[in-house]
Amino acid sequence: MPAFWSKLRTMLSMIKFEHTLFALPFAFLGAILAADGLPGWRQLVWITVAMVGARSAAMTFNRIVDRDIDAANPRTANRELASGKLSVNFAWVFLYVSIGVFLLAAYSLNWLTFALAPIALIFVLGYSYAKRFTAFAHIFLGIALAISPSAAWIAVRGNLMDEVPILLSLFVLIWTAGFDVLYACQDYEFDRTAGLRSIPAKFGIKNALWMARLFHLQAFIVLLILWLATGHAWASLAGVVAVGALFVYQHALIRPNDLSRMNAAFFTTNAFVSVILLAAFGSALFLAKAY
């Protein structure tokens, strides 16, 4: 039994379980906006379980299918499967359990979430292969993460007949694609040598940085449209402005000839985006209802 818990801890480290915070606040925000307030506790619990299951499955599958690539890349050679710290068989079992947890949560929400769950799985698992076929693999990752707010909206309302979740998901898609382009700049040389496809590998780091800026400019525009669609509250506008400032700060940290501050640009700034928007739009909604 101690060996099992040790493997489980290694597995959670491998999939960077704590980074579930990147997407979970967007699911909560989608649920809050759909409910026009706090959803029921049962819905929140199952939305959380679904998010954890889906992300765990996606990250585990990514590490399984990329283990040979990771082993050949000096930056990722120490990852758990690539280095042999964790067995592939254990990873497969964890993957199946994660998929089962996700499907159970989808079934427990409503019939539409369960019916759409296999389609969601195709995207969250399938993006792992995208870099083998297209330089725009970053967009596939964006789609995988963008599912969460619309899925949470469906979990609460049972439909997607509104522009708000679509705009929120579109923001997540473009924002994710932008920061993934930045992250891929670290593997520019390796991707070109290994025949993997990414925007930096195809267009060069300098051009990739400009494309990432364009993605984030578009994401900010979508966020402004979302603010207009949700009622023009000043509290939510403060969140929009804060996210815009984070975008500017993030891109100021990185230069084509200096990627040394990538971790600060990628992890530190992006970890705040979803939390800021949840706090800003959520508080705006509750303040509006209070007054």
> Per-residue pLDDT for the chain (291 aa), expressed as one digit of tens each?
556 656 556 655 655 655 666 678 999 999 999 999 899 999 999 999 999 999 989 989 999 999 999 999 988 888 888 888 888 898 899 999 999 999 999 999 999 999 999 999 999 999 999 999 999 999 999 999 999 999 999 999 999 999 999 999 999 999 999 999 998 998 889 999 989 999 999 999 999 999 999 999 999 999 999 999 998 778 899 999 999 999 999 988 888 887 777 776 667 778 789 999 999 999 988 877 766
> Do 87 and 21 contact (CB within 8 A), yes or no?
no
Domains: count for the chain: 1
> Do 260 and 9 contact (CB within 8 A), yes or no?
no
Using DSSP, state whether 255 is helix, strand or coil. strand
What is the domain-level CATH number for residue 70? 1.10.357.140
Q: What angle (nearest 5°) sits at the alpha carbon of residue 46, between those of residues 102 and 139? A: 55
Q: Give the range of the structural domain holding residue 95, as residue numbers without chain letter.
A: 2-290
Alpha-helical segments (H) within 66-162: 67-72, 80-83, 88-109, 111-126, 137-157
Q: Residue 258: phi, psi to the nearest 5?
A: -150, 100
- For residues 145, 16, 56 and 151, what is the CA-based torsion angle, rounded to 10 degrees? -30
Q: Which amino acid is at 89?
A: N
Here the contacts of 117-122 (C-beta below 8 Å, separation 24 or greater) are 120/54, 120/147, 120/151, 121/54, 121/57
> Do 57 and 124 contact (CB within 8 A), yes or no?
yes
The residues, any chain, with a CB within 8 Å of residue 227's CB and separated by 6 or more, are: 233, 236, 237, 240
